[in-house]
């Protein structure tokens, strides 16, 4: 897409320098086939720059996030994962029982975004969501549990 400014251009427009480390972190996120954690990014950066510490990685990630070049999502693992925002927008359903995650399309959240704008005058950054719940496989097991609990309750 030639009409979009490149990432380097966006950074420069905002007055940030495109340092080799920033470039490298962006490239790592771009080249990873899946969402990547700061820890994983750090490991890869260190292969080339052994003295870069993780707080530098976090600072860069925060900058890239502020520029809306990347998005972060908590997929329920206790840390966030990063992804390029320009890559197809999608969101996740995460099962709180088995931890499985499923991507779903952005279109489903468009009506929410439009209503927030209309009713609250609020432009929501609906970049990369994770919604927690129960997957198809785990739902029956959980429902059984609920029934059992209710049974105990009834007996007491
Ligand atoms: Zn994602
Ligand atoms: Zn599940």
Which pLDDT score is estimated for 20? 83
CA distances from 30 to 21, 25, 60 (A): 14, 9, 14
Domain that holds residue 127: 89-156
- Are 126 and 74 part of one and the same domain? no
In the reported structure, the alpha carbon of residue 140 is separated from the centroid of ligand 2 by a whole-number distance in angstroms of: 10
pTM of the model: 0.75
Which pLDDT score is estimated for 1? 43
> pLDDT, tens digit, for every residue of 75-118?
888 899 999 887 778 999 999 999 998 999 999 999 999 999 99
In the reported structure, the alpha carbon of residue 29 is separated from the centroid of ligand 1 by a whole-number distance in angstroms of: 12
Give the pLDDT mean for 116-139: 94
Residues whose CB is less than 8 angstroms from the CB of residue 37 and which lie 6 or more positions away in sequence, other chains included = 77, 79, 80, 81, 82
- Look at 7 and 70; give whichever has higher pLDDT: 70
pLDDT band at residue 152, thresholds of 50, 70 and 90?
low
Reply yes or no on whether the pLDDT at 71 is more than 80: yes
Domain of 114: which CATH number? 3.30.1490.190
Reply yes or no on whether the pLDDT at 49 is more than 50: yes
- Please state, in angstroms and rounded to a whole number, the distance separating the CA atoms of residues 89 and 18: 25
Share of the chain above pLDDT 70, in %: 91
Domain of 32: which CATH number? 1.10.10.10
- Are 116 and 147 part of one and the same domain? yes
In the reported structure, the alpha carbon of residue 139 is separated from the centroid of ligand 2 by a whole-number distance in angstroms of: 7
**What ligand is nearest to the CA atom of residue 106?**
1
- Are 105 and 71 part of one and the same domain? no
- Look at 146 and 135; give whichever has higher pLDDT: 135
In the reported structure, the alpha carbon of residue 89 is separated from the centroid of ligand 2 by a whole-number distance in angstroms of: 23
Which pLDDT score is estimated for 57? 95
- Are 73 and 124 part of one and the same domain? no
pLDDT band at residue 156, thresholds of 50, 70 and 90?
very low
- Are 1 and 70 part of one and the same domain? yes
Which pLDDT score is estimated for 83? 92
Q: Chain centroid to CA 140: how far? A: 28
Which pLDDT score is estimated for 70? 92
């Amino acid at each position: 897409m030639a009409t979009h400014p490149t990432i380097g251009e966006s950074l420069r427009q905002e007055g940030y320098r495109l340092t080799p480390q920033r470039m490298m972190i962006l490239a790592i996120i771009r080249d990873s086939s899946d969402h990547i954690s700061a820890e994983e990014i750090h490991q890869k950066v260190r292969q080339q720059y052994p003295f870069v510490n993780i707080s530098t990685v976090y600072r860069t990630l925060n900058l890239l996030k502020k520029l809306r070049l990347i998005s972060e999502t908590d997929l329920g693992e206790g840390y966030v994962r990063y992804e390029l925002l320009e890559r197809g927008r999608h969101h996740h359903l995460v099962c709180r029982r088995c931890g499985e995650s499923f991507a779903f399309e952005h279109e489903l959240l468009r009506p929410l975004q439009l209503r927030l704008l209309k009713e609250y005058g609020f432009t929501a950054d609906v970049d990369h969501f994770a919604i927690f719940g129960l997957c198809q496989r785990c739902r029956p097991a959980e429902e059984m549990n609920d029934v059992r609990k209710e049974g105990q309750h009834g007996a007491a």
